Amino acid sequence: KAGVTQTPRYLIKTRGQQVTLSCSPISGHRSVSWYQQTPGQGLQFLFEYFSETQRNKGNFPGRFSGRQFSNSRSEMNVSTLELGDSALYLCASSYRDGNYNEQFFGPGTRLTVL
């Protein structure tokens, strides 16, 4: 079974631009979570989608948004990029709903904002 895939793997943008990152979960997984990893803050939860609905959101500004499609693929968007948005963005998928769920991560998208 193919793992979680994320595209693109690397991205360079300038301040003020916007960016869209894509995530394809493991086949059959309906829950997709997004995380931001930075050296200073570690791994921080952004949001989670299940059946095309955002069920949970972390403590990030409204510039960070996402969506999920009917095939469970998900995208996240960051508008008006700031230097501090430079990070590794990770997507994770999960099979079961509810608690006691392992999340399986993709390789991440490395975003650099200049």
Partner 1 sequence: DQQVKQNSPSLSVQEGRISILNCDYTNSMFDYFLWYKKYPAEGPTFLISISSIKDKNEDGRFTVFLNKSAKHLSLHIVPSQPGDSAVYFCAASAGAGGTSYGKLTFGQGTILTVHP
Q: Which of residues 44-103 bind partner 1 (CB under 8 A)?
A: 45, 47-50, 55-56, 58, 90, 92, 94, 97-103
Name the residue nearer to partner 1 (CB basis): 18 or 69: 69
Cβ-based nearer residue to partner 1, 28 or 100:
100
CB of 63 to partner 1, least distance (A): 20
Up-side HSE of residue 21: CA atoms within 13 Å toward CB? 31
Q: What is the DSSP string of 65-87?
A: EEEE-TTS-EEEEE-S--GGG-E
Nearest approach in angstroms of CB 88 to partner 1 is: 9
d(CA 36, CA 30): 20
CA dihedral 60, 69, 72, 103 (to 10 degrees): 0
Q: Kindly list the residues in this chain that would bind partner 1 in the complex (CB under 8 A).
A: 4, 6, 31-33, 35, 42-43, 45, 47-50, 55-56, 58, 90, 92, 94, 97-108, 110
